[in-house]
């Protein structure tokens, strides 16, 4: 059986799967509680697990991981801009859309497909009147993750 993740770690948000390719981080996934944990199988996965742990202990931690998210040129441009939103700050879908001369809906679609949540902070994008969604969810466990991340970074809503 092929191994899906290069590490599965326990976090305050539950279990997180880490996937790498070569020398770069490619995916971070929120997993079910039933998922078995696994120690990092390579240096990049080990570094990602360590940096996630630091972030969960200190919300002011800045990630410095080699990333290789796969997406369309538009998605990649959105994800690059997401990385510029400072800790403790948010930006609306519309605000980010203006920077790229596109629509709020297009920004939401790119955020929904972000393969590296937390590290590429799509949780910092909110709607004009509420928190918006998270990974396509407006309620439930995934949405609770967005709320937790924002509170962790000191964002009051």
Strands 14-21 and 7-11: antiparallel
- pTM (2 d.p.): 0.93
The DSSP 8-state label assigned to residue 8 in this structure reads E
Domain-by-domain residue ranges, the chain?
7-57, 73-152
Q: Which residues are known catalytic residues?
A: 122
Topology of the domain covering 7-57: Double Stranded RNA Binding Domain (3.30.160)
Angle at 130 between CA 127 and CA 135, to 5 degrees: 60
pLDDT band at 109 (very low <50, low <70, confident <90, very high): very high
Q: Inform me whether the pLDDT recorded for 16 exceeds 70.
A: yes
Q: How far is CA 140 from CA 113, 122, 134, 153, in A?
A: 18, 17, 10, 20
pLDDT value at residue 144: 94
The CATH number of 73-152 is which of 1.10.730.10, 3.30.379.10, 1.10.10.10, 3.30.470.10? 1.10.10.10
In angstroms, rounded to a whole number, what is the distance separating the alpha carbons of residues 134 and 53? Answer: 21
């Amino acid at each position: 059986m092929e191994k899906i993740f290069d590490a599965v770690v326990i976090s305050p948000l539950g279990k997180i799967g880490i996937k790498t390719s070569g020398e770069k981080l490619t995916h971070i996934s929120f997993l079910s509680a039933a998922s078995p944990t696994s120690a990092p199988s390579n240096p990049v996965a080990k570094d990602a697990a360590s940096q996630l742990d630091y972030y969960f202990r200190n919300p002011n931690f800045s990630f410095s991981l080699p990333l290789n998210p796969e997406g369309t040129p538009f998605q990649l441009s959105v994800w690059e801009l997401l990385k510029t939103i400072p800790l403790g700050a948010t930006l609306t879908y519309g605000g980010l859309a203006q920077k790229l001369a596109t629509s709020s809906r297009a920004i939401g679609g790119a955020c929904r497909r972000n393969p590296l949540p937390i590290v590429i902070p799509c949780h910092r994008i909110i709607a004009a009147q509420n928190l918006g969604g998270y990974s396509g969810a407006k309620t439930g466990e995934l949405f609770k993750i967005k709320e937790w991340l924002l509170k962790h970074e000191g964002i009051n809503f």
